[in-house]
Structure formats: structure tokens, C-alpha cells
Amino acid sequence: MVIAPWKNNAKAAYTIIHDDVCEKECDGIFEYADTIAFNRGLKLGLGAIVKFCEEQGDPMWNHLKTFVSHGHEIVCHSYDHGSPIDLGWEPESWSVDTDVVMTKQLIEKNVPGARVTYFIFPFDAYNDRRLNEIKQNGYLGARAGKVMYENDRGIGIDFTSFDPFTSCYFDAYMSKAEQDEIDALPEQERYTVSIYNDDRDDIEIQHVDSAIQTGGWSIQELHSVDDSQPWGWGHISVKKYRNLLDYVRKKQDAGLVWMDTPTSIIKYIMTKNQCGTTVFKDNLVHFSSADSIDKNYATEITLLVTTSGNPPKISGIQNSTRSAATRIGTNRFIMNIEPAKGDVTLAIGE
């Protein structure tokens, strides 16, 4: 009996985070991304620039309320997208009280049900001081892998010493058309955004496939979903976005990938790492370090159960609550339980 690497025994995990929510160039996030994802039962991370949410008032806050009702996660993308550090071409413009603390408070005040626990830095720029500010002010993670690209694919693959503030590897999407425009600039102004091969014009699909191939967790940074000019930076077309989420849904239905919000996946990793050894004796499942699980990260994990016979069904009873297991093969079941809630009694044939 073991814990599955990912929820529902998926082979890999995948997250989309849309940056720059509330910026007018990114209206395609609520016009297209939300509906396309919701209609396919998929959840997104949505990074709000809070000053722009404030300026647009109730109409924009109502969009964020809809996001939350659809299961998406509102993540913080600072107050006004000022740079957290001096980049040379962009001076430092940062206040922990405004960009980290007040932003979280404003979102949670104006969007009932929102719990802001994940941070994405403007320009993907940060240092240890900025990470410590995030840690100390109620956040559970950040898109800030110290080495941005593990195995050169923006995929986290080793979670034995996972740190939710420094281990979230990612890749930023840019369309081939937009990258071609950048490549046509004078040499000193050129830059490459994605690590994937844009000659194929399917960076977004390559990113999902790399997660499945490695069994890891990939975070794909997107911006607006838009077909209109002028383009917002790093936009993806509506057709490509629909095709991407159709592809993800197909892979999820096949058990190959689990797509969810960043905090949901962080909690799975942290609970799995902290719950200790799974001990099974006399139909009782015990987690050796359940008492050591940080309650801020406690969540359900998926248990792989192999039975000695081939019972028609099994279930788990935890604190008088029964959870049915799902058959995945002969003598094999999966069951979602929360180790922090204590031992689980297996009911064979029930």
C-alpha cells in the first residue's frame, strides 16, 4: 500500500497560471479562459494585479468572484506590477506592505471565498529577501524556482526536498508569431521567452507532454487569451487555448495528468512528504508522521490499495466518515483520504 505520486494516480501534474488579471490588455482571461476551462472541468491559477482590479471596481471584482465560484485560484501578482528588484532596465519599485500584505487583504475582502496563498512575482524577478517577505505574510508558495528550469523543461521532477517557495519550476508561453516579431528586432533587443522549440508552433502542447514524460509537475505561465490586435504580451489565441485544454482534458481522462491550481498541488506534495510511512495491519491504515503534517498544507492524498482477493468494492472509514474506493484493475483500488485526520479502517467488500 503506497501513496500515489499525484492525485487519482495520475502520472503527472500540470498547472496553468494566467498573469496580469485585471489589466485591460488581458480581458481575454475572463472573456475566454475562464469559460473554456470551466466547461471542461479544469481549474486555473489567475494572477491579479490588484491596483487594476481596484480601479475597475465592482465589474472586475465580480469577474474574480466568478473565477472563485468556478474553482479557480486567485493568486497575487503584486499591487501595480512594479519590479521586486533592480533589473537594470527596470528599477526596483516595491513595498512589502503594499505589494504583499495589502494586496492579499484587498482580494480577500472584495472576493468572498478567495484565499490568497500563492504569489507570482512581476517580471518573474525575486531574491531571497523578497521570498522571505512572502513566507512571513501568510502565503504558502511562490512561482520562484531558484533554478528556473529543472532538466531544461520547466518541470519539477524531484520532490524529496520540495520547498513550496523555491521549487516551483515553470516556463512562460509565447506564440511563434510574437517570438518571430521579437527575433526581427535589432540584435541587442532580442530575447527568447520559452525554452521550448517554437518552430513547431505548439509550445503549449510540448509543455504538457514533458510533464507526462517525466512524471513531474509543470507550471505554464500564460497571459491573455486573445485574437485581437494589439496583442497583449505573451497572448495565446482562442483556438490554441481551446485545443490546449481539450488536449489536457483528454490526457486527464486517460489518467496521464492531473491539472489543478498551484496551491492544491503544493498541498498534495507537502502532505505526501510529511505524513511519513504508510503502515497497514489488520485492515488499519496508519501514517507514521500524521501528527507532523503542517495544518496549512494538510489535504487529501490518493492511496493505492492492492487486495489479496478480488472484492467487488472496498471503502475507507475515517472518523466515522466512509469514503468509497475506485477500482483501477484486478485487486487494485485508489482512495482519496486526508492523513492529518487520522487512521483509516478498510472495509473490504463494503
Give tens-digit pLDDT for 109-145: 999 999 999 999 999 999 999 999 999 999 999 998 7
Domain assignment of residue 3, yes or no? no
Clarify whether residues 261 and 293 are in a common domain.
Answer: no
- Tell me, yes or no, whether 4 lies in a domain: no
DSSP per-residue codes, 233-283: TT-B-HHHHHHHHHHHHHHHHTTSEEE--HHHHHHHHHHHHHS--EEEETT
Mean of the pLDDT values across residues 189-215?
A: 87
What is residue 190's predicted lDDT score, i.e. its pLDDT?
Answer: 86
Q: Among the listed ranges 10-14, 134-138, 206-210, which one has the minimum average pLDDT value?
A: 206-210
Answer whether residue 206 shows pLDDT above 60. Answer: yes
Q: Which residues are bridge partners to 280 per DSSP?
A: 285
Domain end (from 220, 239, 267) = 267
120 and 30 share a domain? Answer: yes
116 and 190 housed in the same domain: yes
153 close to 147: Cβ distance less than 8 angstroms? no
Q: What is the pLDDT of residue 230?
A: 59
317 lies in some domain: yes
Angle at 246 between CA 242 and CA 252, to 5 degrees: 145
Cis omega (within 30 of 0) for bond into 230:
yes
Same domain (yes/no): 283, 311: yes
**Grid cell digits, residue 327:** 477500482
Out of 248, 267, 286, pick the residue that ends a domain: 267
Q: In CATH, what number is assigned to the domain containing residue 240?
A: 3.20.20.370
pLDDT at residue number 175: 85
Whether the per-residue pLDDT at 147 is higher than 60: the answer is no
Per-residue pLDDT for 220 more than 50? yes
Whether the model clears a pTM of 0.75, i.e. scores above it, the answer is yes
The pLDDT of 215-221, averaged and rounded, is 94
Number of domains observed in the structure of the chain = 2
In this structure, the answer to whether residues 65 and 146 fall within a common structural domain is: yes
Mark whether 214 and 256 lie in a shared domain. yes
Instruction: Please state the separation of Cα 26 from the chain's center in Å.
Output: 19
Q: Which pLDDT does position 148 carry in this prediction?
A: 47
Using CA atoms, how far apart are residues 117 and 74, in angstroms rounded to an integer?
A: 9
pLDDT tier for residue 310 given thresholds of 50, 70 and 90: confident
Last residue of a domain, one of 224, 241, 267: 267
The Cα–Cα gap between 191 and 187 comes to 9
pLDDT tens-digit series, residues 71-91: 999 999 999 999 999 999 999
Residue 149 has pLDDT above 70, yes or no: no
Does residue 2 lie within any of the structural domains? no
Which residues make Cβ contacts (< 8 Å) with residue 295, sequence separation at least 6?
340
In a domain, 178, yes or no: yes
Per-residue pLDDT, averaged over 19-30, amounts to 94
Q: How confident is the model at residue 194 (pLDDT cuts 50, 70, 90)?
A: confident
Residue 232: its pLDDT value, please?
A: 73
Q: Is residue 50 in some structural domain?
A: yes
Q: Are residues 46 and 114 in the same domain?
A: yes
pLDDT band at 146 (very low <50, low <70, confident <90, very high): low
Domain extent for 290: 275-348
Taking residue 191's Cβ as centre, other Cβ atoms within 10 Å add up to 10
The reply to whether 1 falls in a domain is no
**Residue 195, C-beta contacts closer than 8 angstroms, at least 6 positions apart:** 149, 152, 153, 154, 171
117 and 87, same structural domain? Answer: yes
Residues 331 and 253 in one domain: no
**Which tops the pLDDT comparison, 18 or 174?**
18
**What count of other Cβ atoms lies within 10 Å of the Cβ of residue 180?**
11
User: What is the bridge-based pairing of β-strands 326-329 and 170-172?
Assistant: unpaired
Average pLDDT over residues 290-299: 97
* Most confident of the following: 159-163, 191-195, 296-300, 330-334: 296-300
Looking at residue 9, its pLDDT comes to: 97
| Mean pLDDT rounded to a whole number for the chain | 92
**Average pLDDT for 53-76:** 97
Structure confidence at residue 241 (pLDDT):
97
Q: Does 224 lie in the same domain as 179?
A: yes
For residue 59, what pLDDT is reported?
95
Please tell me the predicted confidence (pLDDT) of residue 238: 95
pLDDT of residue 152: 54
- pLDDT at residue 27 above 70? yes
pLDDT of residue 231: 64
Same domain, 54 and 182: yes
The pLDDT, as a whole number, for residue 154 is 78
Q: What is the pLDDT of residue 229?
A: 60
Q: Is residue 215 located within the same domain as residue 235?
A: yes
